[in-house]
Amino acid sequence: MGDTAHRKASSQEWLFKYRGISYPKMRCSLDTFEALQDFVARRDDMMLVSYPKCGTNWCLQILNDLAATVSASEEMKRNFDILEFGAADKYKKMETLPSPRVYATHLHHDNLPKDVIQNGTKKLVIFRNPKDTAVSLFHFHSKNPAVHTYNDWDEYFSEFISGNVVWGSYFDHAVIWNKHIEDENVMIITYEDLKENLAGGVQKIAEFFGLSLTEEQIRLIAERATFDRMKERSLETHGGFGQILFRKGDVGDWKNYFSEAQNREMDAKFEECLARTKLGKMMMYDMHCKY
Active site residues: 106
Cβ neighbours around 246 below 10 Å, total: 19
Query: Going by C-beta distance under 8 Å and a sequence separation of 6 or more, which residues neighbour residue 193?
Result: 201
Q: How far apart are CA 24 and CA 2, in angstroms?
A: 20
* SS3 annotation, 171-192: HHHHHHHHCCCCCCCEEEEEHH
* Among candidate residues 153, 140, 130, 163, the one with its CA nearest the CA of residue 256: 153
Q: How far apart are CA 242 and CA 249, in angstroms?
A: 13
Q: How far apart are CA 137 and CA 144, in angstroms?
A: 10
Q: Which three-class secondary structure state does DSSP give residue 229?
A: helix
Query: Do 130 and 171 contact (CB within 8 A), yes or no?
Result: yes
Query: Do 219 and 96 contact (CB within 8 A), yes or no?
Result: no
Cβ neighbours around 118 below 10 Å, total: 9
Q: How far apart are CA 214 and CA 61, in angstroms?
A: 18
Tell me the residue length of the chain.
Answer: 291
Q: How far apart are CA 189 and CA 173, in angstroms?
A: 15
Q: How far apart are CA 225 and CA 33, in angstroms?
A: 31
